[in-house]
Each structure stands twice: as structure tokens, then as C-alpha cells.
């Protein structure tokens, strides 16, 4: 079993929809959680990072972490065709060394 699990999708939504992307993790030592966006043949781009449980909002993006259920979420409001990409969740322990990634969810926003 992978330490970070993510539904690969693809997830297809109409423009303007609210998108919910989710991950689960198994390692209780994870304290830091990140979401990256990756366009085809590009490097991952950091979108959001959070420490421990709670919510964090940045524009149309909201990241949510529930450590009690080991559940990580990213919500995208008013989705745009330019949001079409693969979204990767990642986690890191208190040692702040290597990131552990999920396999990514491919999102398609239809105009």
C-alpha cells in the first residue's frame, strides 16, 4: 500500500463547477501537506501548502487537512479550462526531508 493514495481520474467537469480533489495517507508522521499542479511535460508547480489540520484559502483554491481521518482535500471554485492539469498531493514528516506524492488526479475542465 502506498503511503499517499490518490484517485487517478480523469475527472471531467464543466467550466464554473466546484472541483473537489482528495487524497488519503497512512503515515501518522506526516505533518506538512502540499498540492502541486502539473501541466503535461512540465515540472510540478506548488499551489498550496498547509501544516497539520485545518483549512487554507488562496484565491479560488482551498486546501483542507483532516489529520484524524488522514484525509487531504483541494477545492477549486469557479473552475476554468486553464485549470485542466494533473493535481498531485504530497506529504512530508517533521524532519522536512523528502516529499511523498500521490499518483496524481487528472482534471479536465470543459468550456
Partner 1 sequence: DTGVSQDPRHKITKRGQNVTFRCDPISEHNRLYWYRQTLGQGPEFLTYFQNEAQLEKSRLLSDRFSAERPKGSFSTLEIQRTEQGDSAMYLCAWVEASTDTQYFGPGTRLTVL
The footprint of partner 1 (CB under 8 A) covers 4, 6, 8, 32, 34, 36, 41-46, 49, 88, 90, 96-104
Return the number of the residue (49 or 75) whose C-beta is nearest partner 1: 49
Closest approach, Cβ 14 to partner 1, in A, equals 25
Return the number of the residue (17 or 56) whose C-beta is nearest partner 1: 56
Closest approach, Cβ 15 to partner 1, in A, equals 26
Is residue 47 within 8 Å of residue 97, measured between CB atoms? no
Closest approach, Cβ 102 to partner 1, in A, equals 5
Q: Which residues of 59-89 are buried (b: 16+ CB within 10 A; e: fewer)?
A: eebbbbbeeeebebbbbbeebeeebbbbbbb
Return the number of the residue (18 or 39) whose C-beta is nearest partner 1: 39
Closest approach, Cβ 96 to partner 1, in A, equals 5
Is residue 107 within 8 Å of residue 84, measured between CB atoms? yes
Amino acid at each position: 500500500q502506498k503511503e499517499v493514495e490518490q484517485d487517478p481520474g480523469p475527472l471531467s467537469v464543466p467550466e464554473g463547477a466546484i472541483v473537489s480533489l482528495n487524497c488519503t495517507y497512512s503515515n501518522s508522521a506526516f505533518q506538512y501537506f502540499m498540492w502541486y499542479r502539473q501541466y503535461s511535460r512540465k515540472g510540478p508547480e506548488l499551489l498550496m501548502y498547509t501544516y497539520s489540520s485545518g483549512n487554507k484559502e488562496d484565491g479560488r483554491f482551498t486546501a483542507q487537512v483532516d489529520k484524524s481521518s488522514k484525509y487531504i482535500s483541494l477545492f477549486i471554485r469557479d473552475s476554468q479550462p486553464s485549470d485542466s492539469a494533473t493535481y498531485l498531493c504530497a506529504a512530508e514528516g517533521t524532519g522536512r526531508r523528502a516529499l511523498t506524492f500521490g499518483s496524481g488526479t487528472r482534471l479536465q475542465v470543459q468550456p
